Chains A and B, each alone.
Chain A
Amino acid sequence: MELERIPVEIDHCSKTYADGTRGLQPTSLHVEPGEVLALLGPSGCGKTTLLRLIAGLETLDPGGRILFGGQDVTHRPVEQRGVGMVFQSYALFPQMSVAANIGYGLRIRGVSAAEERRAVGELVELTRLTGLEAKRPGELSGGQRQRVALARAVAVRPRVLLLDEPLAALDAKLKEQLREELAELLRRLHITAIHVTHDQQEAMAIADRLAVMRAGSIVQVGRGEDLYRAPAHPFVAEFLGRVNRIERSPESLARGVLTIGGATLTCPPALDQSALLVRPEDIQIGPRQDGWGVARVEQRSFLGDRVQLRLSAAGVPGTLLADAARDTPYRSGDEVGIRIDPQRLMSTAEASA
């Protein structure tokens, strides 16, 4: 199925609700043609509001503009905007069969019955729903409903596909499986898509780029890997994974070093903040040895694929989380060697996004 690929331009869009609350601060965003962009953030960060503005289900504050392929659609009602949307609850029409659900948008447009049958057949095959055409949504599993919702949304050949928490209604195991499937399907459709989620793993698995949002604004936009490795804001670091925050003493700060359990690391010159961040998987644990610091294991949690250790070390207030290999022998109470590659330290400064 060949779909049109267009860029989406969001230009100074904001949303103030009737009661005066600001759902979205003035936001600008560019989505490349055929790209899958995730709007990622905790609940209440404005990601759904932004998606609904793009869909045309909410009206934006005066001054903002939304362009689809260079065409201003700001004042176009949702019915004529040419978007396909997958809702969190899927919103399948309960009284219609799977085939009737998928073909609904085409019927509304007055497409001939033969053409509708052909298009529905193609989508049923693409979304692996063969044999379920005559079933009603109530008889389908969660994953099947999600695929019907996707097929229905793309049947009308939308210019932009919008996905509102498409996997939130599924249980954890199924979610993991379907997220690969959805990513693959979106690649095959090669359509410009905007995907709202609060799950960072889902966002990284499905989207080409992520826009991390907080309190009604976009904090940083970029590829998942780049955001994970080089977050421009401590919120991005914390939201995309687990991080340790290490406070430095004034002397260490003045000398440009970080001391952990007696060992001294020289920090890259760019890291001149009093607190630094490091991910648990970037803390190395081993036998006590020269040049390494010393830490004490306070708690050991076996997580299946790895062991998570809670450590205390001289010179570090509070405790540190560190990931160790699955077969790591250390128990709580043991003294272990600890080392951090200074290149893995992350800044707590807020770089401008």
Chain B
Amino acid sequence: MRQPTHNRAPFLFAVTALTSLFMIAPMLLSVLAGLVNNYSVGIKSGFTLRWLQEVWDVYGGTVGWSLAIAAASVAATAAIGVPCAYALARSRSRLARAFEELLTLPVAVPGLATALALILAYGQIAAFRQSFAFILVGHIVFTLPFMVRTVASAFQRNDLVALEEAARTLGASFPQRFLGVLVPAVFPAIVAGGLMVFTLSVGEFNLTWMLHTPLTRTLPVGLADSYASMRIEIGSAYTLVFFIVILPVLWALQALAQLMQKRYGT
């Protein structure tokens, strides 16, 4: 009774601790495996940064490309998705609802199928097929519904409808009120959608694996490659690189999204 908050539910605490341990252990082991000299010998073999160095030498390029593709996906889904979200939010036609369903399809359909369809349709255009743009298009197809859904639900709010009418009574033309009033008003939703798009794009594997070429590899594809063809220590070191690169970026984006919400939320 002296410490009610600590003693109230020992069972729940134990379950939480065990679950957390069960989930964190693989991550810790994986990180550890990337830092020891010989995984089969264990910690006794001593620590090294050799594997990290090797990963950076062989796959360093994939880090930059992954981040670049994720950033480009955010930019492209925002540019395409925000006007599309507005149109869907304002339209009451059945066609618009059908289109919205169609847009969500790439999320439900296995990425391999989407990739195969892209290859069938555009695979003959060699310059396109061999460039990172091909992977980017795949990522946009896959992530667009997340941006559109998030932003469309913001546009649908009654206060957004009133904001647009207010801008109209003040004489604003469509481009003026769209860019000057509506987009800034839904900016927190765009940032939230962008965060989701970025995260999905960085980790995307199965679609990218079909679309990539030996010269166009992203981080997850490189990871699969290293697991398949190299020592387990190198694959593990790669995971560590992934953590080091991705976590700060995600944290920064999260902080930005929260800041936006605080600044612009009413």
Contacts and interface: CB of A to CB of B under 8 A. Distances in A.
Interface string A78-90: 1111011101110
A85 B166 contact: yes
A91 B162 contact: yes
B233 to A, nearest CB: 50
Given A91-B159, A95-B264, A108 B165 contact: no
B185 to A, nearest CB: 6
Contacts, number: 73
Given A79-B168, A104-B170, A87 B185 contact: no
Interface in A61-103: 78-81, 83-85, 87-89, 91-96
Contacts of B56: none
Nearest to B165: A57
Given A89-B162, A91-B163, A156 B170 contact: yes
Interface string A137-148: 110000000000
A79 B185 contact: no
Given A87-B162, A91-B159, A138-B265, A108 B170 contact: yes
Nearest to A158: B169
Nearest to A152: B170
A273 B266 CA distance: 55
A93 B168 contact: no
A109 B170 CA distance: 9
Contacts of A78: 165, 168-169
A91 B169 CA distance: 11
Interface string B159-199: 10011011111111100100011001101000000000000
Given A137-B266, A138-B266, A94 B185 contact: yes
A57 B167 CA distance: 12
A84 B171 CA distance: 10
B171 A156 contact: yes
A105 B159 contact: no
Given A79-B172, A108-B171, A95 B187 contact: yes
Contacts of A153: 169-170
Interface in B85-118: none
A104 B168 contact: no
A340 interface: no
B172 A108 contact: yes
B266 A109 contact: no
A55 interface: yes
A80 B187 CA distance: 28
A87 B166 contact: yes
Interface residues of A, number: 28
A66 to B, nearest CB: 15
Given A91-B162, A95-B184, A138-B266, A105 B170 contact: yes
Contacts of A95: 184-185, 187, 263-264
A81 B170 CA distance: 9
Nearest to B168: A78
Contacts of B158: 89
Nearest to A57: B165
A95 B188 CA distance: 11
Contacts of B180: 104, 108
Contacts of B264: 94-95
A49 to B, nearest CB: 14
Given A94-B185, A108-B176, A89 B171 contact: no
Nearest to A138: B266
Contacts of B169: 55, 57, 78-79, 81, 83-85, 153, 162
B265 A93 contact: no
B171 A57 contact: no
A93 B163 contact: yes
Contacts of A91: 159, 162-163, 165-166
Contacts of B265: 94, 138
Contacts of A88: 162
A215 B172 CA distance: 34
B92 to A, nearest CB: 9
B29 to A, nearest CB: 47
Contacts of A79: 168-169, 171-173
Given A79-B173, A93-B185, A87 B165 contact: yes
A85 B263 CA distance: 26
Contacts of A105: 170-172
Nearest to A82: B171
Contacts of A87: 162, 165-166
A57 B168 contact: yes
A83 B184 CA distance: 24
Nearest to A106: B170
A335 B264 CA distance: 64
11 contacts: A78-B169, A79-B169, A81-B169, A84-B170, A85-B166, A87-B165, A91-B159, A91-B165, A95-B185, A104-B180, A162-B169
Given A78-B165, A78-B169, 5 more contacts: A57-B169, A83-B169, A87-B165, A95-B264, A153-B169
> Nearest 5 pairs between A and B by C-beta?
A105-B170, A91-B166, A91-B162, A85-B169, A95-B184
